[in-house]
Amino acid sequence: MITNYLMVAFEGLKTLRLIHKSRVLAYEQAEKKACVAEMKDYLSQVIRESRSFGKDLENFLAEIEGELGNSKPEEESRIHQSQFYYAVAKSQSNSPTVFLSCLLGDSHSLKAYQDLLSYHNIGLFPRIKQKLEQQFKKIREQIEKVEIFQVSTDFGLYFRPS
């Protein structure tokens, strides 16, 4: 029997999967614009971690999909606010715009995590919940690190001019 908690978990994970696909593309653009090794290394790390988490999301979706059987929900055409900012980052050539759009995307993606983590039945999936909490914390830390870069340095030192 398909229950609502499976559908909610499935939809929430699908949203996060789409967000992370967009996030990788946005950070790849930011990495191209970076000209300092420290920043390039940091952005490469963000990309690797996001890709890894994307694979985890695929596995979690497959697990829940197995329980849903043929009653999977229809694909939605709406995009999450974070995906909008990641798309801006990917499509821009202006270095500060690329990087700041990545930050805005990350900030908005935290809401998708909060929504899924606050769903009371997510505890029925302890592995998934633990991974979501870890990734939520990681993104918050990445935002803080980038803000420190922003405050303590001249952004122009880290990026190639457009």
Check the CA dihedral 11-12-16-22 and report its sign: positive
- The type of residue at 150 is Q
CATH numeric code, 4-69+79-157: 1.20.1260.10
Helix axes 4-33, 126-152, angle to 10 degrees: 30
Residue 44 near residue 28 (C-beta atoms within 8 A): no
Residue 1 has a pLDDT of: 43
For the chain, the domains span: 4-69+79-157
Quote the pTM value. Answer: 0.83
Q: Tell me the C-alpha distance between 84 and 8, whole Å.
A: 23
pLDDT less than 50: residues of the chain: 1-2
pLDDT tens, 93-122? Answer: 887 888 889 999 999 999 999 999 988 778
Check the CA dihedral 33-36-41-45 and report its sign: negative
Residue 79 near residue 23 (C-beta atoms within 8 A): no
Calculate the alpha carbon distances from 69 to 3, 72, 108, 111, 117 in Å: 12, 7, 31, 29, 24
